[in-house]
Structure 1
Amino acid sequence: MRIGIIGLPASGKSTVYQLLTHGQPSHHAGQLEASISVVKVPDPRLDRLALMFKPKKLTPASFELVDFAPLVKESGKPTSPGGQLLPQMRQTTTLLMVVRAFEDERVPHIEGRVDPAKDADTLQAELILADLDVVEKRIAKIEEAMRKGKKGESPQELALLKRCYAALQEEKPLRGMALTAEDERLLRGFQFLMAKPSLLVVNTGEEADGGPDGLKALPAMGASQSAPMAISAKLELELADLPPDEASAFCAELGLGASAAPRLRQACYDLLGLTTFFTVGSDEVRAWMIPHGSTAMQAAGAIHSDLEHGFIRAEVVAYEALDRCGSLATARNQGLLRLEGKEYLVADGDIMTIRFNV
């Protein structure tokens, strides 16, 4: 799973990136110096399981986070300097779109005035421009092939792409389109940016207290899949550097609630539409992330393809039940450890042991 962070210059998107990757190493991808980090997902359930099983190794779930170079107008054109970012952006699973809602005379806004709604519109326009370029070229190629009588081109794909073109022209996200399973298959290879789940992150000043005036206008826009999240990235990063007790005291002094960083991490997780299951043992306790609605056999495949191919059944116990019992043996004696087949839908927090043929 890969989350991309995009924004205009001086939006504070790199501060958001630093907040989410705090203390974790990153490397540069090369194209306009995009930074990539692997972000470990904190989970108190994993810590509890570690105390229970005392494994040699503890492995949390994780996802890749990519901080792209700032977008500017016409970045959506492949021939522009910013267009070099598009292939990497298409490889992401979802996008965080950071817009600026803070004033700072030392860091002037690229447009001369702070307007988060306008910035969100600019970002969305660049993504639409990039997708329109792909759609137009593919439509032209199919129509040209059909005129020449070439076989192999799909009228269904052409009709679907024309629907996508119409939606983009109306500035509508492609993720909102009603698609069949076959439609999704036909579009999968294009990796459209406007088809990806996205979250608008409004980077506020310390004094804004999470509620800039511009925030009210943002939910009506198509840029975000869910309601925008307001966060003072600079303040949150400073709080992350403090010991927990000092950070709590500082928040109380400023009249702030709990740190927004965990909420942002959780929002990323929710945006990906994931479920967490665990495998346990004396060698390793590990959290695994799989798409919500995955079957037991698909979960086995996330661990290793051999487990999926040779799947027999899964031993499953809910985390809450295991936590009450304190051990797998007790859970088994109480009838809480059950056997499930390959079509079982994995629930968040399931502890699973896969039985399989070698």
Structure 2
Amino acid sequence: MKIGLYGYENAGSTTLFNAITGFNIPTGFSGDRQQTHLGTVKVPDPRLDVLTGLYNPKRTIHAELVFTDFPAASREKKALSNIQEAKSMDLLVLLVGAFSSDGQKPDPVGELENLLTEMVIVDLEHVSKYLEKQRKLPASAAGKDPRLVALVERLLPHLENGLPLRSFGLTSEEETALRGFSFLTLKPALAAINVDETRLSEKPDEAMDRLAEHHRVRPFLLSARVEEEIGRLAPEDQELFLADLGLTEKLSGRLLRAAYDLANLMCFFTVGPDEVRAWTIEKNTPAKQAAGVIHSDLEKGFIRAEVFTYDDIVEVKGNEAELKKRGKVRLEGKDYIVRDGDILHVRFNV
């Protein structure tokens, strides 16, 4: 899963990137504001740690997310200058500054509104150019899909009214048909509100809530500077610092959990003496498709999957033979919907 960080200058996007990834990229005037930064983050999951203890494998592999910190723009310019790169992201984090900087009063609602409006305009321009091109093509032109054209035509007035496609009410089939467009206002998005540490326990104000609801994005309060400082402490000191702030875990865990929830994602596991591993899939994914996430050969030659739950294997302390005796190991076919925390042994034949 790829997550893009966007924001204006001094909103703290690179500080947030450092807090999440553990990197130490220079920020402020000492940093390169035109540089794109990439970092991979392991998704913390206590269940994976428990399974590692039960199976004692040669290696443990966490699910991973790739974060991209895009160059910050001045408030007089477009923040989404890297449109194609933004379209390649699976989820967008729109960072706005809600703290005083250089004596200037913050305007997080205005910043977020500008970012969200930019996304609508990008999609509107894409739709307009597509429809203009389609109108010039003869009806018999190869590859022309009248149903897709009709669907995109329905989107036009919605975008012209300044509304995101998240609020259009598309069916799952329609979303699949539009996947190739990579519309920005269809992507899940977090509105990350960067506040002073004294405001971490507060809730977003009403104006921010209304704007977020209008564009179907989720507000998320954080203090990037404080979280970056916490990340540099020893683990035992981190817990004390977090407790003082009324928090129970670091930003990386809170943000990744919010991202998973917003993007409708979950994890299943594969276990054994060689490897214990977490795999990320969308919720409501059939077993055959989930097997393809492990390896394409498993999807092609899928026969069935042995399935048991995390809770059940923990109860028998990793003894799969005992689990089978208790009738807790199921054989499931290709249409079985994998659940969060399921453990799969895939049977296949290529």
TM-score (norm 1): 0.88
Tell me the number of residue pairs that the alignment of Structure 1 and Structure 2 aligns.
340
Does 2:50 correspond to 1:48?
A: yes
Deviation of residue 152 (structure 1)?
A: 4.7
Match of 1:34 among 36, 50, 75: 36
Corresponding residue for 1:98? 95
Does 2:174 correspond to 1:174?
A: no
Bigger mean CA deviation after superposition, 65-74 or 201-210: 65-74
Question: Aligned with 1:335: secondary structure?
Answer: coil
2: CA distance, partners of 1:304 / 1:245: 39
Deviation of residue 157 (structure 1)?
A: 2.8
**Deviation string for 1:91-119 (max 9, x for gaps)?**
001111111101132xx6xxx53111111
Corresponding residue for 2:116? 124
1: CA distance, partners of 2:239 / 2:66: 29
Question: Aligned with 1:218: secondary structure?
Answer: helix
Corresponding residue for 2:196? 205
2: CA distance, partners of 1:246 / 1:143: 63
Corresponding residue for 1:136? 128
* Paired letter, 1:95: L
**Deviation string for 1:63-98 (max 9, x for gaps)?**
11111112455537xxxxx63x11111000111111
Corresponding residue for 1:309? 300
Corresponding residue for 1:79? none
Corresponding residue for 1:216? 206
Structure 2 residue runs of 5 or longer lacking an equivalent are 26-32
Deviation of residue 316 (structure 1)?
A: 0.7
2: CA distance, partners of 1:57 / 1:217: 48
Give the direction of change, closer, same or farther, for the CA distance of 1:264–1:132 in structure 2 (3 Å limit): same
**Deviation string for 1:192-222 (max 9, x for gaps)?**
111101111100012223427x633112124
What is the correspondence of 1:318-337 to structure 2 with a 5 Å cutoff?
A: 318-326=309-317, 327-337=319-329
* Paired letter, 2:267: T
* Paired letter, 2:240: A
| RMSD between aligned residues | 2.4
Give the direction of change, closer, same or farther, for the CA distance of 1:259–1:236 in structure 2 (3 Å limit): farther
**Deviation string for 1:160-189 (max 9, x for gaps)?**
223222112222111222224553243211
The answer (yes or no) to whether the contact 2:99–2:106 under 8 Å persists in 1 is yes
Give the direction of change, closer, same or farther, for the CA distance of 1:152–1:18 in structure 2 (3 Å limit): same
Deviation of residue 260 (structure 1)?
A: 5.1
What is the correspondence of 1:206-355 to structure 2 with a 5 Å cutoff?
A: 206-211=197-202, 215-222=205-212, 225-253=216-244, 255-259=245-249, 261=251, 262-326=253-317, 327-355=319-347
Deviation of residue 244 (structure 1)?
A: 3.4
The answer (yes or no) to whether the contact 1:24–1:39 under 8 Å persists in 2 is no
2: CA distance, partners of 1:269 / 1:149: 43
2: CA distance, partners of 1:307 / 1:99: 43
Corresponding residue for 2:17? 17
1: CA distance, partners of 2:222 / 2:296: 40
The answer (yes or no) to whether the contact 2:242–2:250 under 8 Å persists in 1 is no
1: CA distance, partners of 2:24 / 2:344: 29
Corresponding residue for 2:28? none
**Deviation string for 1:138-158 (max 9, x for gaps)?**
111111224x97565333333
The answer (yes or no) to whether the contact 1:231–1:260 under 8 Å persists in 2 is no
1: CA distance, partners of 2:76 / 2:227: 29
Deviation of residue 341 (structure 1)?
A: 0.8
Percentage identity across aligned positions?
37
Corresponding residue for 1:163? 154
**Deviation string for 1:13-32 (max 9, x for gaps)?**
1112111112599xxxxx95
What is the correspondence of 1:35-114 to structure 2 with a 5 Å cutoff?
A: 35-71=37-73, 72-73=75-76, 75=78, 83=81, 85-105=82-102, 112-114=104-106
1: CA distance, partners of 2:345 / 2:227: 39
* Paired letter, 1:17: F
2: CA distance, partners of 1:256 / 1:182: 43
The answer (yes or no) to whether the contact 1:128–1:171 under 8 Å persists in 2 is yes
* Paired letter, 2:258: A
Deviation of residue 344 (structure 1)?
A: 0.6
1: CA distance, partners of 2:24 / 2:40: 8
Deviation of residue 62 (structure 1)?
A: 0.7
* Paired letter, 1:215: D
